[in-house]
Structure 1
């Protein structure tokens, strides 16, 4: 799954000469926490809520409100932005983006190729991608199976479900710390969950959970 399929393509950005006050207004009005800094169509930095807060005078300052506003309207983004920005390619896998976020302790990655910004991917985009991959918010039936790493178990699960004329929309397989393998199957449409569970159990399949799922918007 490439980053380009999950990134936000419409990028709101500022220039290095934007004032801190104006950038703060943009963040507030558009509900943003970070803004890429672009100059001559190239990424030159990143400004976040944290860097903005550091640039703002402390509440303990003796400056008047007028003096603080004057200071924020004179301070440029180039003076407070993060210059060494961690980026990711739009062709990188989503897992690579997650790894970079974890390694560098950041919640946003500008998506850059050949020095041009194509989008931005945030921790929120990653959470949404996980929900989409897991089939969360889709109407149907979810079956969770816990098994040993046995050859042919997945084929047996698929065959059993197919024999009931049910369509498998997605399958997620993960190895637990216990060594057990968890298989989660999302089935499209409606199904008799009691009958399906019985059929699976008859095939020696350990059904940990089976439930109906309902449509939910992820936006």
Structure 2
């Protein structure tokens, strides 16, 4: 899946001359933690709650509340914004977005095209949502985890053939290779959990986890 499948397309941006207090009000009203800063429709920086906090006088200073408010009303986002911003393209894979967030220790990436034109934003929460969707966690049906002590070619084909022979449809399948064991996670439509477990254990497979989820009532 690509970034465009999970990004927020309606992005709130602010120009460089926006006052810091105004930017804070926008973040609070929209429940945002960051805002792209634009000039002529092109991104030139990023302002976040953390940046504002870092650039605010400490409570230990001798500034009065009046002086502090005066300072904040005069400071613009352009004065303190981060000008070097990690971005991503809408056509990039979600995995690439995850890697960039981890490597650069950021919680969001502005999505840009055509020389930094902002067309969206993707956050770590969007990646969590994508992971849940890919794994089918919220779907009705059964989920099993099969432990494979000695991984070898042909295992997935064997498992899918076994389930297909009993008309059990697979919605999602994932493989996690660890040092001591390989785990195959399978999400299926069927709610016949005990029958599925018996089918696979009879064929010699070890089930380490098995759960089922009934469909939600509308």
TM-score range, shorter chain: over 0.9
> 1:129 matched to which residue of 2?
130
Does residue 175 of structure 2 align to residue 139 of structure 1?
no
Q: Helix, strand or coil: the match of 1:144? A: strand
Partner of 2:87: 87
Q: Report deviation, 1:191.
A: 2.5
Q: Distance in 1 between matches of 2:89 and 2:157?
A: 36
Alignment partner of 1:157 out of 148, 154, 159? 159
Which of 176, 179, 191 pairs up with 2:178?
176
Aligned to 1:209: 209
Query: In 2, are the aligned partners of 1:3 and 1:91 still within 8 Å (CA)?
Result: yes
Q: 1:177 to 1:10 in 2, by over 3 A?
A: farther
Aligned equivalent of 2:193: 193
Retained in 2: the 8 A contact 1:137–1:215? Answer: no
Unpaired runs of at least 5, structure 1: none
Q: What CA distance in whole angstroms lies between the structure 1 residues aligned with 2:199 and 2:65?
A: 71
| Consecutive unaligned residues in structure 2, runs of 5 or more | none
Instruction: State how far apart, in whole Å, the 2-side matches of 1:60 and 1:29 are.
Output: 28
* Residue aligned with 1:136, SS: coil
* CA deviation profile, 1:15-50 (whole Å, cap 9, x unmatched): 111000000111111111111111111010001111
- Give the length in aligned residue pairs: 214
The aligned residue for residue 43 of structure 1 is 43
Partner Cα distance (1:177, 1:213) in 2: 30
Q: Is the 8 A contact 1:156 1:203 kept in 2?
A: no
For 1:106-126, what per-residue CA distance to the aligned partner results, in whole angstroms no more than 9, with x for missing partners? 111111121211111111111
Q: Which residue of 1 aligns with 2:110?
A: 110
Q: CA deviation at 1:159?
A: 1.8
Check whether the contact 2:27–2:34 (CA below 8 A) recurs between aligned residues.
yes
State the TM-score, normalizing by the size of structure 1: 0.92
2:83 aligned counterpart, secondary structure: coil
Report the Cα offset of residue 84 of structure 1: 0.4
Q: Secondary structure at the match of 1:146?
A: strand
1:215 CA displacement? 5.8
1:8/1:119 contact within 8 Å kept? yes
